[in-house]
Every structure is written in structure tokens, then in C-alpha cells.
Amino acid sequence: MMPQNKQNKDTARQTDLIDVAKKLFHISPQKPRNQEGKRIYFSILPFGGTLPGGTGRALITSTTAGIYLGPRRTTYISTASFAPYWNFKGRFGLPLRTSIWLPDNTWTIQGDTRFMVYPQYTWGLGNIKGDYENRVLVNYKYIRFYQSALKRIKPYLFAGLGYHLDYRFNIASDNPVIDLTAFTKYNYGLNRRSFSSGISGNLLYDTRNNAINPLPGAYANLVYRINPTFLGSNNNWQSVYLDLRKYVSLNKARPRQQNMIAFWSYLWTAFGNTPYLDLPSTGWDPYNRSARGIDQNRYRGKSLLYLESEYRRDITNNGLFGFVVFANANTVSGAGKFGAAWHPAAGAGLRVKFNKGSNTNIGIDYGFSKGYSNIMLNLGEAF
């Protein structure tokens, strides 16, 4: 029997944008919203924003769905997010991410499927301190298919296997004069096509009951991936990804109001002849949420160590508005010693409660680092 969820937040006194819209347009439902008995929640948000990688503004539509597949007291909320985007210049993506929790959390199934036309700048390997403009635009198309199934082996602890496919094709520099292998000083995965097919062993520890907006709890995820040539990979290579998170409540006297600090750290290491675009890189964690305030791909290497902390607090008593303040830093290996240089960033953001049933916020964040800044819009928290 799975232990009961420690956080079943009472939404009776919470207010979200749905409540505001009903009041604004004088919509009087025949019966009050029953959040406790409801099983499925949708949050849909069309907006414009700036895509990472320096390729301009885009039209982005973000849809997040949450559903309980079992009793709420013993089953985490399953989520699916779909965020297609188009930047009017040939760059677009169709990413679908899923996190399924079967009744009583007996199994969890994690998925990540993408098709992307994804031109993006690269600066080469290591803790590069040179001119920000010393970069190359790399054009490619990308197909990703990740699926992992994990079984509960004890309360909050899961183990299982996964399959991972990364296929990049039509890889080329935007400038035909520039040779990507010569620019990056790296010999693998930059010759028009890169195919990686592998299996993974996974360990997961998760005491959060809502990944959309985690409440106090802890999370740890270890993924060891091998990509042998007999499964179709161009090269034999392996990777290890260790992700650690902790959420600490600072407001025990008023549990309905959010006042907490969150910590996030991950270590990502690759071994063997890893294709260049599969190497650890800033902003390329599984959900592309790290390194806020640093351009995606800015730092890339055989290993990457990342640290972040964030303070989250409600502004209004009804939870409609809140704010966050965050700081992060990373270091990579490559052209120099691992840990020889750290690259910090910081920022702040506004939160607006979009759906109190799934505790989904609209997040508007501003992040900055030396020589770079950006605005990020999301449904749900960064981590």
C-alpha cells in the first residue's frame, strides 16, 4: 500500500483565473466547483515569447493536463504537457511530455517525444570566456523518443528500464564556409546525421505529489544510459544523469499560503564517442528548464554540474498572485579543467494562479547573466 500523499492542499479558499473570469463575465455556475472530486484539469495558454538559442521571437501555445488515475490520497497526479511553437523563420517544434502514475503509484511511466526543426547557436566546448559573438548557427532537424517504465519497490522508491532515441539530420552550419568539426574541435556527430539509440537503467525517489507545482518534499533521479552500435547508434557511448531536488516549507503556521525555498542540482556526464549535440549542455536538461538567464547551449562539455535555488511566495492570501527569486550557476568540462570556471545567473518572476485544482501557475520570469538576459513564460514551475 502506498503511503498517503502528505500534501492534499485545500483549494476552497484559493482563487485562480477561472474564478476571476467567471466573476468578470458574470458567469454563475449551477453548482460550485468541486476540486476534491474532480479528476482531470486542463490549462491552455497561447502566448508569444523568445525561444532559447538566440533565434528570435515565436508563437508558443502551452497546454498542460493533470489527471488522477487512482485515489487522490494514494496516487500522484499524472501530467501531460504539449507546447508547440513557431518562430516565423523556419524553426518549429512539437514537444509532448508525459508523466503517468498508475493507481496507488504502483508504476510510473515517463515519456518525452519531440519533432523539431531547431537551428541553434553553439560556442564550442568547455568554460568558454571569449566573445559572445564568436558562435556558429547550427541547423538541424531532430526527432526524440524517450520512454521509461518504473515499478515501485518500496514507498516513494521506483526502479525500471527505458529506451532513448535521438535522431538529428541535415546537420549543417548556417555559413557554408565554416566547418563545424573544425570550429568545435570535436570529431563526432557533426557530419550531416547523428543517430543515438540506447537503453537505460533508472532509479527514482519522489515524495512530491504534484510535479506541476511541487509542494514540500524531495526528488532524486538517476539514469544510466548505454548507446551501443548494435541498437543502431553511430558510436558507442554512455551517459549518467543524477538529478537532486529538495523543497522546504518556511510557512508551517499558514499551510494554505506558499512560502518555500527550493533547491536543484544535477550532474550530467557522458563517456565514449558521444555525438556533439548529445553532450551535456546548459538548458538541455530533460525539461529544458535549467540555466534561466543563460543562453541555451552556451556551455557544453563532457560533464556538466548545475546548481540552482529559488524562493517562492504568495503575494495575496488567496494564492492568485505570487513571486519567485532565483539564482543558478554551472560549470562544464571540455577545453579546460572541470570546475575551473563557474557561470552564474539570477532573476525573478511573477506567478498567477491559472488552475487551483492542479495548482498550475502561469510563470513569467526574467533572467540575466553577463552579456545576456531573457524573459521566459511557462505553465508550471521551472522545477
> Distance (Å, rounded) from C-alpha 216 to C-alpha 105?
19
- Least confident range from 228-237, 340-349, 372-381: namely 372-381
> Distance (Å, rounded) from C-alpha 205 to C-alpha 153?
10
Is residue 249 pLDDT above 60, yes or no?
yes
> Distance (Å, rounded) from C-alpha 119 to C-alpha 140?
6
Closest by CA to 53, choosing from 83, 82, 93, 97, is 93
List all residues 6 or more positions away from 31 whose beta carbon is below 8 Å from its beta carbon. none
Relative to beta strand 107-117, strand 343-355 is unpaired
- Least confident range from 36-50, 186-200, 282-296: namely 36-50
List, for residues 145-181, the tens digit of each pLDDT value: 999 999 999 999 999 999 999 999 999 998 889 999 9
State the pLDDT confidence band at 4, using cuts at 50, 70 and 90: low
- Where is pLDDT greater, at 325 or 131? 325
Q: Per the structure block, which three cell numbers stand in for 66?
A: 493533470
In this structure, the number of other CB atoms found within 10 A of the CB of residue 163 comes to 15
> Distance (Å, rounded) from C-alpha 360 to C-alpha 354?
6
- Least confident range from 124-138, 173-187, 211-225, 367-381: namely 124-138
State the pLDDT confidence band at 7, using cuts at 50, 70 and 90: very low
- Please state the rounded mean pLDDT for residues 92-96: 90
In this structure, the number of other CB atoms found within 10 A of the CB of residue 230 comes to 7
In the numeric block, the cell 521506483 is attached to 158
Is residue 142 pLDDT above 90, yes or no?
yes
Per-residue DSSP letters for 37-92? T--EEEEEEEEEEEPTTS--EEEEEEEEEEE-SS-TTTSPPEEEEE--EE-SSS-E
> Could you give all domains of the chain from N- to C-terminal order, each with its CATH number?
17-379 (2.40.160.50)
pLDDT at position 111 = 97
In the numeric block, the cell 556533439 is attached to 276
